[in-house]
């Protein structure tokens, strides 16, 4: 009896195989003739949220795992991008430098006096804030006494010349003494000379002295360099901090340069001797 029952159980073991096989063939036939599309769309309406939720979680985990496995690759890529970024930054700085140079050249072309020959130079260093080192020298035709300008603005006088570099003394230098004249900055006033004056460098800035008491000079008026060493009228800056002492016969003050010497990148050397 027990043996018979075991045999029956063993026979029934094959039933799920048979049942599922027959049902699967039935389903395949239904599917192939297209009868299952209604059932599929109805059930997918219910089942799709389960699939979408699970799949989204799986995708997130997969992305996390792939990030972890590819971390060395990402690190290399990051380093490479850092290098590229540095290169781009260098390119931007170069571009900025070229833009400045272009602007200066344009200014010079528009304002230059055609009687002179100019040499384009770049500033290499500011020496103790009183002079500039530039990258042009004797080889480029620059000689001692040449004038550094930017457009019609006075920058300084070449005081030392080497083969490839030169030193330009700025008006702010304590050794710099130049004759100037002052004209009114007011557009409505006539452009006559208001007063003659002398400038010299000091630790406080460019000092201007010997301004006539009754000349009508006021703060903001324009200072033009007119010295035998310079040989031409070049703009220097505006008057600031004019003294108001009635007991003196002359007035003094300071000159605020048109150009900030510390921000200067390029300039032009006006050659004294064209040959």
Residues forming the site for other proteins (CB under 8 A): 12-17, 19-21, 23-28, 30-32, 36, 39-40, 43-44, 47-48, 50-51, 53-55, 57-59, 61-62
Helices (H) and strands (E) in the chain, counts: 4, 12
Of residues 62 and 243, the one with the C-beta less far from other proteins: 62
Sequence-ordered list of residues with C-beta below 8 angstroms from that of 63, at least 6 positions apart, any chain: none
Taking CA atoms, 272 is separated from 130, 146, 148, 157, in Å, by: 22, 6, 11, 11
Min. distance of Cβ 67 from other proteins in angstroms?
A: 15
Min. distance of Cβ 45 from other proteins in angstroms?
A: 10
Min. distance of Cβ 32 from other proteins in angstroms?
A: 7
- Let me know if 235 is exposed, middle or buried by CB neighbors in 10 A (0-12, 13-18, 19+): buried
Min. distance of Cβ 73 from other proteins in angstroms?
A: 21
Of residues 21 and 88, the one with the C-beta less far from other proteins: 21
Min. distance of Cβ 19 from other proteins in angstroms?
A: 5
Of residues 54 and 202, the one with the C-beta less far from other proteins: 54
Q: Which of 126, 127, 123, 173 lies closest to 148 in space, CA to CA?
A: 123
Of residues 36 and 226, the one with the C-beta less far from other proteins: 36
Beta bridge pairs of residue 253:
208
Of residues 16 and 246, the one with the C-beta less far from other proteins: 16
Min. distance of Cβ 75 from other proteins in angstroms?
A: 25
Q: Which residue has the tokens 């703009």?
A: 235
Of residues 47 and 98, the one with the C-beta less far from other proteins: 47
CA distance 52 to 58: 10
Beta bridge pairs of residue 237:
223, 257
């Amino acid at each position: 009896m027990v043996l018979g029952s075991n045999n029956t159980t063993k026979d029934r073991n094959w039933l799920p195989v048979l049942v599922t096989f027959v049902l699967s063939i039935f389903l395949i036939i239904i599917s192939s003739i297209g009868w299952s599309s209604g059932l599929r769309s109805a059930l997918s309406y219910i089942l799709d949220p389960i699939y979408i939720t699970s799949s989204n979680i799986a995708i997130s985990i997969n992305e996390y795992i792939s990030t972890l496995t590819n971390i060395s690759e990402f690190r290399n890529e990051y380093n490479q991008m850092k290098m590229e970024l540095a290169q781009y930054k260098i390119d931007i700085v170069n571009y900025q430098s070229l833009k400045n140079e272009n602007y200066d050249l344009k200014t010079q072309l528009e304002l230059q006096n055609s009687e002179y020959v100019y040499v384009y130079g770049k500033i290499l260093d500011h020496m103790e804030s009183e002079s500039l080192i530039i990258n042009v020298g004797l080889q480029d035709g620059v000689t001692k006494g040449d004038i550094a300008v930017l457009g019609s603005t006075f920058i300084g006088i070449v005081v030392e010349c080497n083969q490839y570099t030169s030193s330009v003394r700025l008006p702010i230098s304590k050794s710099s003494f130049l004759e100037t004249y002052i004209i009114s900055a007011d557009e409505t006033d006539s452009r006559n000379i208001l007063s003659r004056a002398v400038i010299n460098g000091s630790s406080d800035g460019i000092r201007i002295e010997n301004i006539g008491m009754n000349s009508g000079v006021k703060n903001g008026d324009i200072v033009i360099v007119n010295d035998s060493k310079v040989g031409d009228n070049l703009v220097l800056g505006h008057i600031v901090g004019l003294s108001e002492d009635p007991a003196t016969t002359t007035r003094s003050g300071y000159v605020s340069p048109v150009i900030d010497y510390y921000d200067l990148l390029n300039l032009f050397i006006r050659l004294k001797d064209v040959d």
